[in-house]
């Protein structure tokens, strides 16, 4: 009975939800998986505009995941809301696959697309559900036994069929990792680094080059693996792609220091694991990497989607809320898309030139129409503001000054008093209808109150 009570208390402490970062709680009661059966651990991929990408998802639970911000499209420093993003989740843990429209995207506020520091975004989906299951994220890389790098691939997107994951094991990074990547050198505890590459899973993805793995898992006790990070970027020396180069390294952002960030956005529990109970994750939701102090010349950086082209699939309409927009220092890099047209000599693509020409024609037409209606309005305004009373009075004053001149219908008015008296005796019609009141109404702008609703799902252990 005492054992049962202890078990129950551990469960309760694991799933309690609190609005503070203290709700990032551990739970060690998990069915363990080894690198050879990584398929038992829930994993996922990003599908963009109906096309499979190489972007792995660090699945937190059945409603949210962390991923590389470079896998998203940006327009004017904000996530492009016209792109359709979906999260595909494999059958690990419970045997059920999932396909979800991404509803919310929160980019880390310190994301730097140039250096790849804080290359992190939180995605939310399946919002009508409750937390039914959750993954455990490795913390404390200092006592990991090794790393397992994983590639997942959808063999059939429409049928949500997953191929067998490919796994590559490596103990740790080397000195080349720091030589090629300044952000890794200054923030080595936030990254995993690997020299391993894997063949592109299908020729239909448009590249014959090898590609980086998508996810990294931490190995404990020499056997058991826990989700640890996702691909951020690759650095190539003496080459322009991963087909030919003198050296290369792939870098993976570790999830552990961004659990508090995820918890602050989701306002619910996320989970971590370390076989040393004294190791705890950092709890600052605004945590950010140190900005690199140096740069490396004669290298090429690749990031984002490594599959430049692939066949489209039927994709449901997507609509998401970008909770946190950023202003990346440059457009996220990656292999060029097959849909992108080459630039002309002027630096603009043919598509851009056509768009500019069309916009210019439409703009000229709208300007002409605007001028036409402005002239008509001005003429009508002058006509409506003509005041016969003022005109008659002016004519009478002029006639009096000229001496002998007369106003049609009137005599020779010799004084201002007589002019005013005559005007009131037989006044001309008013300039405006008697029942028209010209009142200027100034309305004070008001900003609606911002409502924030936080739902606390009943989590299931």
Q: How many CA atoms lie within 13 A of 81 on its CB side?
A: 10
The pLDDT value recorded for residue 359 is 73
The pLDDT value recorded for residue 206 is 66
The pLDDT value recorded for residue 162 is 95
Residues of the chain with pLDDT under 50: 1-22, 25-29, 309-319, 324-349, 389-391, 394, 397-399, 401-417, 419-420, 423-424, 427-461
The pLDDT value recorded for residue 377 is 75
The pLDDT value recorded for residue 59 is 96
Q: Strand 215-220 to strand 224-237: parallel, antiparallel, or no bridges (unpaired)?
A: antiparallel
Q: Are residues 107 and 81 in contact, defined by beta-carbon separation less than 8 angstroms?
A: no
The pLDDT value recorded for residue 31 is 55
The pLDDT value recorded for residue 223 is 86
Tens-digit pLDDT profile for residues 47-73: 999 999 999 999 999 999 999 999 999
The pLDDT value recorded for residue 201 is 83
What φ, ψ does residue 376 adopt, rounded to 5°? -60, -40
The pLDDT value recorded for residue 342 is 34
The pLDDT value recorded for residue 433 is 43
Task: Give the torsion through C-alpha atoms of 99, 105, 109, 114, to 10 deg.
Answer: 60
The pLDDT value recorded for residue 360 is 77
N-to-C CA span, the chain: 20
Please choose, from the candidates 218, 239, 245, 37, the residue with its C-alpha nearest in 3D space to the C-alpha of residue 143. Answer: 218
Q: What does the angle CA 40 – CA 42 – CA 45 come to, to the nearest 5 degrees?
A: 130
Q: Strand 85-89 to strand 154-156: parallel, antiparallel, or no bridges (unpaired)?
A: unpaired
- Among left, alpha and beta (phi > 0; psi -120 to 50; other), residue 348 is beta
The pLDDT value recorded for residue 126 is 95
HEC string for 141-193: HHHCCEEEEEECCEEECCCCEECCCEEEEECCCCHHHHHHCHHHHHCHHHEEE
User: Could you give the CA distance from residue 431 to residue 300 in angstroms, rounded to a whole number?
Assistant: 76
Please choose, from the candidates 176, 224, 166, 172, the residue with its C-alpha nearest in 3D space to the C-alpha of residue 197. Answer: 166
User: Could you give the CA distance from residue 116 to residue 253 in angstroms, rounded to a whole number?
Assistant: 9
What φ, ψ does residue 59 adopt, rounded to 5°? -65, 120
| b/e per residue 50-61 (b: at least 16 CB within 10 A) | bbbbbbbbbbbb
Tens-digit pLDDT profile for residues 266-310: 999 999 999 999 999 999 999 999 999 888 888 999 999 998 744
Tokens (6 digits) for 403 = 């001496």
């Amino acid at each position: 009975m005492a054992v049962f009570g202890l078990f129950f208390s551990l469960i309760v402490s694991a799933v309690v939800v609190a609005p503070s970062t203290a709700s990032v709680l551990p739970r060690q009661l998990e069915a363990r998986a080894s690198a050879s059966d990584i398929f038992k651990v829930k994993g996922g991929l990003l599908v963009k505009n109906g096309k499979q990408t190489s972007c792995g998802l660090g699945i937190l639970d059945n409603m949210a995941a962390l991923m590389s911000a470079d896998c998203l499209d940006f327009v004017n420093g904000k996530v492009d809301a016209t792109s359709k993003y979906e999260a595909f989740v494999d059958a690990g843990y419970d045997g059920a696959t999932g396909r979800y429209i991404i509803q919310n995207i929160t980019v880390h506020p310190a994301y730097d697309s140039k250096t790849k520091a804080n290359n992190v975004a939180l995605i939310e989906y399946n919002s009508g559900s409750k937390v039914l299951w959750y993954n455990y994220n490795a913390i404390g890389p200092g006592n990991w036994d090794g790393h397992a790098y994983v590639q997942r691939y959808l063999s059939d997107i429409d049928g949500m069929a997953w191929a067998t994951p490919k796994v590559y094991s490596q103990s740790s990074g080397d000195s080349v990792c720091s030589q090629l990547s300044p952000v890794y050198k200054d923030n080595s505890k936030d990254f995993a680094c690997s020299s391993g590459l894997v063949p592109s899973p299908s020729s239909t993805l448009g590249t014959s080059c090898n590609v980086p793995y998508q996810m990294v898992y931490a190995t404990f006790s020499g056997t058991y693996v826990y989700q640890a990070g996702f691909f951020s970027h690759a650095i190539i020396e003496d080459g322009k792609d991963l087909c030919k180069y003198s050296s290369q390294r792939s870098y993976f952002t570790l999830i552990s220091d961004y659990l508090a960030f995820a918890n602050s956005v989701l306002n619910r529990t996320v989970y971590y694991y370390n076989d040393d109970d004294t190791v705890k994750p950092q709890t600052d939701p605004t945590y950010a990497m140190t900005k690199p102090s140096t740069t490396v010349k004669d290298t090429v950086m690749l990031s984002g989607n490594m599959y430049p082209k692939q066949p489209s699939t039927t994709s449901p309409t997507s609509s998401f809320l970008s909770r946190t927009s950023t202003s990346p220092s440059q457009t996220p890099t990656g292999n060029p898309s097959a849909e992108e047209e080459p630039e002309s000599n002027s630096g603009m693509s043919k598509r851009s030139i056509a768009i500019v020409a069309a916009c210019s024609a439409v703009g000229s037409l709208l300007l002409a129409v605007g001028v036409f209606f402005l002239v008509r309005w001005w003429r009508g305004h002058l006509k409506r503001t003509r005041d016969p009373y003022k005109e008659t009075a002016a004519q009478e004053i002029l006639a009096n000054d000229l001496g002998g001149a007369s106003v049609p219908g009137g005599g020779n008015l010799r004084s201002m008093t007589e002019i005013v008296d005559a005007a009131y005796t037989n006044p001309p019609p008013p300039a405006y209808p008697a029942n028209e009141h010209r009142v200027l109404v100034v309305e004070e702008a008001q900003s609606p109150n911002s409502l924030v609703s936080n739902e606390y799902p009943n989590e299931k252990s």
